[in-house]
Amino acid sequence: MSNFMERSNMGYNTCLVGLQWGDEGKGKIVDILTESFDIIVRYQGGSNAGHTVVVNNEKFVLHLIPSGILRKNKYCVIGNGVVLDPRQLLEEITELRGKDIEVGDNLRISEIAHLVFPYHKKLDELSESEKGDEKIGTTRRGIGPCYTDKVARNGIRVADLFHPEYFKQRLKKVLEEKNKIFVRLFNADELSWKEIYDEYCGYAEQIRPFVCNVVSFMDDAIRAKKRILFEGAQGSLLDVDYGTYPFITSSSVTAGGAAVGAGICPKHIHKILGIMKSYTTRVGGGPFPSELNNELGEHLRKKGGEYGATTGRPRRCGWFDAVAVKHAIIVNGVDSAVLTKLDVLDEQKTIKICTGYKFGGKMYDLFPANMAALPECQPVYKEVPGWQKDTSRIHNMKDIPSDAKNYISTLEKILGIKVEMLSVGPDRGQVVSLV
């Protein structure tokens, strides 16, 4: 792995972004890359993310805290672009400490990050339930309503917790509006501002040691030439602007969101590393042209363990969609990629790659923005031979089966980028450097 680290990082600040609909394996790869970085930053999303890392057969699922927390002597930062659920955060801290993982001065939280409140979760639940067949597939963690409040200037930020009277007045005003919505629109019960106030004042004292001016912290780190890894959540096809709208998340998932969500200048990000799964998955509703609603799709789900780390919901599975991934590569400016879960395809005699869509007598090789067309698009496939050999135990490039090498090189040619690292299982050690 050292060769990969030396050649891929080179002292640069790197942003790792998912190139599909999330669940590409970012948690594991961040954990591996962290060895060569000083600071790991989460820049968007909230507890709707679920980053899974397996270390020595022990499984860790992180929703808010950057995956770098599992390495010693690293700073982990929750940036202002993240919407913070303090209850979830404290649960994670307790769980990590229970497994002898240090969480103290190594964790920093932006004082201007927005807070998720019970009324956000309630609104998320009620709104999603009302949609019927038009459900987005939200995790119901209150993420969307929290971002809505942020943009509508109705949000409450971490720093507000430390000014009790100001926090009280803000909370009362916001909740008065939310309660009208609950009662008049959803015929639901009101929430008590006093109960929420007392609960969150309690959280304030528990999280206070971690809270700081992250803009200043990051500026100092950059001036000191610290190596910084920016950890994205979800995937680019769920981006609020560039994803399959409206079946998207509520934040800027792409590399462009890292600068805003971490409080740095874009010029301080030197490398964009994309991560993609050897096939495609999606959780919740929305178009999925290469989806496999058959036994093969079920096989991929079972072998790949394709169940949401946050919700436990089964993921929809399909062949690799190069049209969608090329779109993600363009909007992120990806320099190179990591390919994960190659081992899940080990048994396949033939493997398909979606290289275009057919709709209305036309061929699309670019990802269409028209949501009226996308659900009706039919995939056009390129077929390559499978390797039918176990790849989960390989550690060197020379041991990769020739047909697996062919599959990887075919993806590289179609996508126009180099695959630098290969993941062949969940554990930290199940990776192969390709550089």
Residues that are catalytic: 23, 51
**Amino acid letter for position 211:** V
Among candidates 1, 16, 3, which has minimal Cα distance to 270?
Answer: 16
Among candidates 356, 334, 353, 321, which has minimal Cα distance to 416?
Answer: 334
Spatial distance between the Cα atoms of 293 and 316, rounded to a whole number of angstroms:
8
Tokens of 235: 């995937």
Helix (H, G, I), strand (E, B) or coil at 180: helix
Q: Supply the DSSP symbol for 23.
A: -
Q: Beta 51-55 vs 58-62: how paired, if at all? A: antiparallel
Kindly calculate the radius of gyration of the chain based on its CA atoms and give it in whole angstroms.
Answer: 22
Tokens of 125: 């639940």
Among candidates 350, 377, 383, which has minimal Cα distance to 365?
Answer: 377
Is the peptide bond preceding residue 246 cis, with omega within 30 degrees of 0?
yes
Can you name the residues that pair with 431 across neighbouring β-strands?
423
How is 305-343 classified by DSSP, letter by letter? T-B-TTT-PBPEEESEEHHHHHHHHHHHT--EEEEE-GG
Query: 366-384 burial string, b = 16+ CB within 10 Å, else e?
Result: ebbeeeeebeebebbbeeb
To the nearest 10°, report the CA torsion of 145, 146, 148, 152: 130
* 351 touches 387 (CB < 8 A): no
* 46 touches 89 (CB < 8 A): no
**Amino acid letter for position 229:** L
Residues 6+ apart with CB under 8 A from 323: 289, 354, 355, 356, 357, 364, 365, 366, 367
Q: Supply the DSSP symbol for 24.
A: S
